[in-house]
A and B are shown apart, each in its own frame.
Chain A
Amino acid sequence: MKTRMLILFAVVSLPLSAAAADAEPRSWALGWADGITLRHQLTSDWDLNLAAGPNDRWEDTTVTSWDDGAVGDALTTRPSDDKREQGWVRLGAGRALTADGPFRLSGLLSLRYLWSREQDLNQTIYDPGVDESLRLVRTNRDDWSLDLGLRAAAALSGRFWLETRFGLLYTWRTTESRTTTRRLQGSSYEETVDVDVTKLKTFDDYGWYGTGSLDLVFWF
């Protein structure tokens, strides 16, 4: 999605800076490549990239219904508490393959880890302590991805570069979902627990329509 946004900048930034290839070499860069990215130029050919980003969410909802308009005389209360702690981090190395004026092409090898801890809790309280039901779903997800690709970069100025990446992505995903259901009715109490573990491997290419990225990098 950032692709579309950054294309706007590609348009307004033309023409490319042909002098960029001759610009003074710099060691550190800060930018955006799926998330905040830090890059270090190790040698004239090799660079190291570290990128990361969060995607957390916590939602607490309470729905209370009355039939006579009087607060404190609720018919039902439906609290829910949904949480998700999610983040990813990617470490990669790049190797310059060729350069021509303001353009550069590099090979990339990256390892990405994404973790997600999710909890969805839904309750219905018809009569507190007497008639209640609860459903709790806990989902843990871990993704490891290996990325082998190419990075094409164009210099807009000596320090500012636009880049895109394309290549192959191999992902191992493990998802464990635990669903707990409880029902209290008078003195009767029922609980069921269901555990589901899924392992998934995917092998995809990326970098063209719908999956492309356009990254920006500022060199310091």
Chain B
Amino acid sequence: MRARLTVLVLLAALAAARPAAAAGTWLVGVEQDAALMHLPCGCGVIIDLNDPALLLGRRWDAGWSLTVSLSRSSSQASGDGYDSVARWTRLRAGRALVRDGRWTLWLELEGANAWSEWTRGEDPAVDGVREWRETWSGAARLRPEARIWRELRVSTSIGLQRLRTERVTTTAAAEGARTVSRTVVEGWSEFGDASEYDLTFVWSF
């Protein structure tokens, strides 16, 4: 299902880009969530970048953009005996609000899906834990972007989002006891705090 969604998103991006192929630029880059360390001076430095995502997109001279970000990660631990896999996809349509020198302010509308599964135990249905989680979200982002060298640009974003996360955890023990926990979280929120923001580098050509 997710693979189909990913292909669909890519095809949509390419289809939207084709008619104006001569009047814009292509984008390729990387997008990451980041965490910050606070220093006594009150400033911050990046100490952790995680969930890197490949970003592909198209920008038109008229000030529109369409990008898609794809990320996948998985891990296995033989000692603790767990497996995890996570994927997320974000599709964004953007409009340049202000251009000034090397600065551009973009307004973006975004739809995103994140999915992950975590299991522990050889057969989680009999004796172990299985956690499945999926998030659908929509967001409006303000993205200040600076061109820092040739066609290399860096940006971050702040804005509002609406998300819905569903999480199902099944815990089974060998003697037959079983617990199922289902959690749904919904809400509106701002984002842009240190634990949530993204850092994006793109190269246009």
Nearest Cβ on chain B to A117's Cβ, whole angstroms: 13
Q: Which of B42, B44, B182 contacts A208 (CB 8 A)?
A: B42
A17 to B101 alpha-carbon distance, docked (Å): 10
Contacts of A61 in B (CB 8 A): 181-184
> What residue of chain A has the Cβ atom nearest to residue B172's Cβ?
A69
| Bound-state Cα–Cα, A69 to B177, Å | 6
CA distance A137 to B121 in the complex (A): 38
Classify chain B's interface size.
Answer: 35 or more
Chain B, interface SS category:
strand
Q: Is the pair A218, B192 in contact by a Cβ cutoff of 8 Å?
A: no
- Chain B nearest CB from A40 CB (Å) reads 16
Give CA–CA (A156, B192) in the complex, Å: 21
Choose among A9, A62, A210, A218 the residue that contacts B98 (Cβ–Cβ < 8 A): A218
B118 within 8 A of A: no
**A149→B176 CA distance, assembly (Å):** 64
Check A1/B103 contact, CB under 8 A, given A66-B177, A210-B42. Answer: no
Which residues of B are found within 8 Å of A219, using beta-carbon distances? 98
| Interface window among A50-58, A107-115, A124-132, A138-146 | A50-58
Name A1-45 residues within 8 Å CB distance of B: 1-5, 7-9, 12-13, 17, 30-32, 35-36
- Contact present for A157 and B185 (CB under 8 Å): no
The distance in angstroms between the C-alpha atoms of A8 and B192, with both chains bound, is: 13
When chains A and B are docked, how far (Å) is the Cα of A5 from the Cα of B195?
A: 10
**B101, B105, B186: the one within 8 Å of A158 (CB):** B101
- Interface-located stretch among B74-82, B86-94, B141-149: B141-149
Contacts from A to B (Cβ < 8 Å): 1-5, 7-9, 12-13, 17, 30-32, 35-36, 53-69, 84, 156-160, 208-210, 212, 216, 218-220
Instruction: Return 8 A-B CB contacts under 8 Å, by A number.
Output: A1-B195, A5-B44, A7-B44, A8-B199, A17-B101, A55-B188, A59-B185, A218-B97
Residue positions of B touching A, CB distance < 8 A: 36, 38, 40, 42-44, 46, 97-98, 100-103, 105, 142, 144, 146, 148, 154, 156, 158-160, 172, 176-190, 192-195, 197, 199
